[in-house]
Structure 1
Amino acid sequence: MALTNPTPSPARPTVPDAPTPLASPDTLAILASPHTATTSVRASVPDAPTTPVRPTAANIPTSPNALSGGSTPPPAWRRLPRLDAVDRDVLTLYLFTRVALAVVAYCTAWLFPRSPEAHSPGLLSEVVGQWDWSHYLHIARDGYFPDDPAARPAEWDNREAFFPGFPLVLRAVHLVVPEWTAAGLLVSLVAGAVAVLALARIARVHLPRAADARRPALLLLVSPCAVFLAVGYTESLFLALALPAWLAARRQDWRAAALLAAGATTVRVSGLFLVAALVVHCALTARARGTLRGLPWLAVPALPPLLHSWYLYARTGDWMAWKHAQERGWYREFHAPWEAWGTTWDAAFGHGYTTPYALMWQAELVAMAVGVVTVALLVRARRWPEACYIALSLWALGTSYWYMSIPRATLLWWPLWIGIASWTLRRPRWLAAWLCVSAPLSVVLAVTFFSGRWAG
């Protein structure tokens, strides 16, 4: 369950989704800068003889250095990917926005205490640990089916609806960081840094200059629901796995793409939509390269959801226990798309709900419209894998009793942020207009979340 705020429709991306023939299949190269290669001018030398030289004792190198022209290979740590100027700018922007959200959380704690008569703010864990965080905390601390009766809520909380990836990482970090809320914040902080770096690397493929890759990261970090990238939610961790998986697929490193996508499928069901996009991308590149060697690897990401379903079946006798928990807790049973739209419209404008909830339903409607326009533009640009990814997300979220979580899901639509970046690069004045709308909405949603009101 989640919410995010709407964004105007992105412009048609400037580069089609043809696979870029990147050379290195090394998994470490997934995040390696595309600008680290250097060019050199080869000195002119006389024409070499065309007859091959037969190896003899006189011309066989006798030392390892002779094989490399006399230079010792650099140690392994020196061969790790380095950050270039654009990466450092993106990380700096990321840290600044984290500080800004911390300031918003601090001010919200003082402005909106639990009691109107309070003379001190609430604890940090109370401010940032809202809504879905409690589900992840209970799973990480007590498991899905705790044996201790004290760990069982009086009314079951449908925690089976949540995938185990984030709780498992949270429990692992908790071994080092004893305070649960701090551990969750640390997971999102580190994962978010990886995610924005990967987004910038993807953007370099589609935008004219490498320096332009800063813009999608900026748009994401000040988007209306950016607060969910900073708190103990799954968005940052999912992006930290999904975006490098997409980069690996573009480099034809299908083993790395499959393993990273498998991590994404342990975090959110959206990982399955990513796998579908990878399959489409593999099929399209196979037509150009004449090989489907990457396709068998893409069966790997299906294993985590299957194992999770098997585990729930062993405890409940229901293979779809996670789906039925969503239906019980959040009314996610199937309805026709027009029925879901009509129900959400009534909730937004029918005066049947209090104004804060009605406003969130309005955000759901706008986010759905933004998603539909984004898919249409991607189809027009023949970027079929990305169109498949977002279309499946819209179908899953748009066929429930009503819309829920669509605004927050926009954080996961990286083509949206790259498309808006491309649009504002061609129309520079619109960047200021966009930020003047998006940044205040981001603050409003952050205050809404930190004050304990429903924000997604």
Structure 2
Amino acid sequence: MTLIERYARSPVPAAPTAAVREPGREGARRLGLDAGDRDVLTLYLFTRVALLLTAYCTAWLFPRDPESHHPEPFGAVVGQWDWNHYLNIARDGYFPDDPAARPAEWDNREAFFPGFPLLLRALHPFVRDWTAAGLLISFVAGAVAVLAMGRIARLHLPRVADARRTVVLLLVSPCAVFLAVGYTESLFLAFALPAWLAALRHDWRLAALLLACATTVRVSGLFLLAALLVHFAVTARRRGELRQLPWLALPALPPLLYFWYLFGHTGDWMAWKHAQERGWYREFHAPWEAWSTTWEAAFDHGYTAPYALLWQAELIAMGVGLVVAVLLARARRWPEAVYIALSLWALGTSYWYMSIPRATLLWWPLWIGLACWTSRRPRLFAAWLCVSVPLSVVLAVAFFAGRWAG
């Protein structure tokens, strides 16, 4: 039985089950945390310390000036790449009136959804350092995300230890650094995974409200909305549930409002898509053309070696995603299959592949499936960690050192 088939055949309760709690943990009990949740949070904290240590060492080992006698400033180490777009939006808005706030060459910031910058701006009066505020958002959101991931896994896996394995696989995955820095992955998962958990328990109203928050953060929320609609279609039976169907229109509202806002400033209803095309070559290409272009970038020596290596990672991530989508469809796990397939279609029909390894962080069926697969194969789990952990460190160093890391 394949990993996804085993995951797919696991029972999913229609209503929440009572948590097993240990005595004497009053604070945790008040928060509704049981022993499994506390184990997950402990793992999460340990991996955050490991990433901070990696950032600290990178600041000393790879300063921008090789002759420097001082480390790179910590804020510059953890605030790389897309973080600057979110910072500019939070600080100056999408269309600042002050010419000094506009870069000489426009940075296509319309390509980024407003959820993370709005939260960053709301937190700024209390945490004055922008980078610290971004790290705090990701830290808190990441804790919520791994708790929800663990609870989803416990609905499918027979032992708490197996569910905990799911969280371990996510936290040491190759692109795990993006869950810790000022990016949107943690915040998106903090809304998306509880939304999915609510949907599994047929609490459609809560699922819609949480997913509406997720769609303010990333366009991936719309892919999850499609998955929720499929899940509703195949599981909703009672008349009371059918009356909750209109709630599932709510998550489409934040993107529509954002596109309307951009139209008011640009006169272009497709301003978000056009910004994606200008900045990241995300104009539509047939899937085989995108694969071919990425293959050439990875192996035809037209780019420097670090970039070529990361395009090789894009190809591998696409291959993994295709396998997961096929196995989910084969097991008739249609909602998850739709979610993965739409993600692959969006990322696999550009000029070339970009950010697919990062997108694997959002594919919870992948991590639950791997946990199923390795639960009775400890040697396979150890082998996976021996590959994943070094890659996670390498990509974290690449990110902190200012190299492109996916």
TM range (shorter): over 0.9
1:17 is displaced (CA, Å) by 7.1
Shift, 1:286, TM fit = 2.2
> In the alignment, what sits opposite 1:96?
46
Aligned with 1:208: secondary structure?
Answer: coil
From 347, 370, 393, the counterpart of 2:343: 393
- In the aligned structure 2, how far is the partner of 1:258 from the partner of 1:351? 47
User: Quick one: distance in 1 between partners of 2:292 and 2:266?
Assistant: 34
Deviation at 1:98, TM superposition (A): 0.3
Q: Deviations over 1:16-71 (max 9, x none)?
A: 376522158xxxxxxxx633599xxxxxxxxxxxxxxxxxxxxxxxxxxxxxxxxx
The residue identity in structure 1 corresponding to 2:13 is: T
TM-score, normalized by length of structure 2? 0.95
Q: 1:37 & 1:130 partners in 2: Cα distance?
A: 42
**Contact 1:127 1:452 (8 Å CA) reproduced:** yes
Letter in 1 for 2:303: Y
Distance 1:210 1:145, change over 3 A: same
Q: CA 1:396–1:10 in 2, change beyond 3 Å: closer, same or farther?
A: farther
Gaps of 5+ in 2: none
Q: Distance in 2 between matches of 1:34 and 1:78?
A: 12
Residues of 1 paired with 2:238 and 2:374: CA distance? 32
Q: Contact 1:248 / 1:257 at 8 angstroms: preserved in 2?
A: yes
Contact preservation (8 Å) 1:10, 1:417: no
Moved more, 430-439 or 80-89: 80-89
User: Which residue does 2:191 correspond to in 1?
Assistant: 241
After superposition, residues 53-452 of structure 1 pair within 5 angstroms as 81-287=31-237, 291-452=241-402
Identify if the C-alpha distance between structure 1 residues 351 and 35 changes in structure 2 by more than 3 Å, giving closer, same or farther: same
Equivalent in the alignment of 2:7: 14
Q: Number of residue pairs matched?
A: 402
Cα offset for 1:14?
3.0
Aligned in 2, Cα 1:127/1:37: closer, same or farther, shift over 3 Å?
closer
Once the two structures are superposed, residues 164-185 of structure 1 have per-residue CA deviations (whole angstroms, 9 ceiling, x without a partner) of 0000111111111000000000
Looking at secondary structure, tell me which structure has more helix per residue. Answer: 2
CA offsets per residue over residues 333-364 of structure 1, 9 Å max, x none?
00000000000000000110000100011000
Alpha-carbon distance, 1:428 to partner: 1.8
Give structure 1 regions of 4+ aligned residues with deviation exceeding 4 angstroms: 77-81, 287-291
Q: Is the Cα contact below 8 Å between 2:192 and 2:210 reproduced in 1? A: yes
SS at match of 1:13: helix
User: Would the aligned equivalents of 1:192 and 1:240 in 2 still touch at CA under 8 Å?
Assistant: yes
Secondary structure in 1 matching 2:375: helix
Q: Percent identity?
A: 76
1:3 is aligned to none
Unaligned runs of 5+ in 1: 1-8, 25-32, 39-76
Is this contact kept in 2: 1:10–1:374, CA < 8 A?
no
* Correspondence for 2:19: 34
- Between the aligned partners of 1:272 and 1:196, the Cα distance in structure 2 is 21
Residues 10, 157 of structure 2: 8 Å contact kept: no
Which one has the largest radius of gyration?
Answer: 1
**Are 1:445 and 1:455, in contact at CA under 8 Å, matched by a contact in 2?**
yes
Q: What letter matches 1:385 in structure 2?
A: P
Cα distance in 1 between the residues matched to 2:43 and 2:401: 25
* In structure 2, distance between residues paired with 1:183 and 1:442: 24
Q: Which amino acid aligns with 2:112?
A: F
Query: CA, structure 1 residues 10+118, in 2 after alignment: closer, same or farther (shift >3 Å)?
Result: farther
Corresponding residue for residue 74 of structure 1:
none
Cα distance in 2, alignment partners of residues 354 and 97 from structure 1:
31
| Closer/same/farther in 2, CA of residues 289 and 35 from structure 1, 3 Å limit | farther
- 1:270-324: CA deviation from partner (whole Å, max 9, x where unpaired): 0000100000000011257795223211000000000000000000000110110
| 1:240-289 deviations in Å (ceiling 9; x for gaps) | 00000001111111111001000000000000001000000000112577
* SS of 2:242 mapped into structure 1: coil
Q: How far apart in 2 are the matches of 1:361 and 1:394?
A: 16
CA RMSD in angstroms, aligned pairs only: 1.9
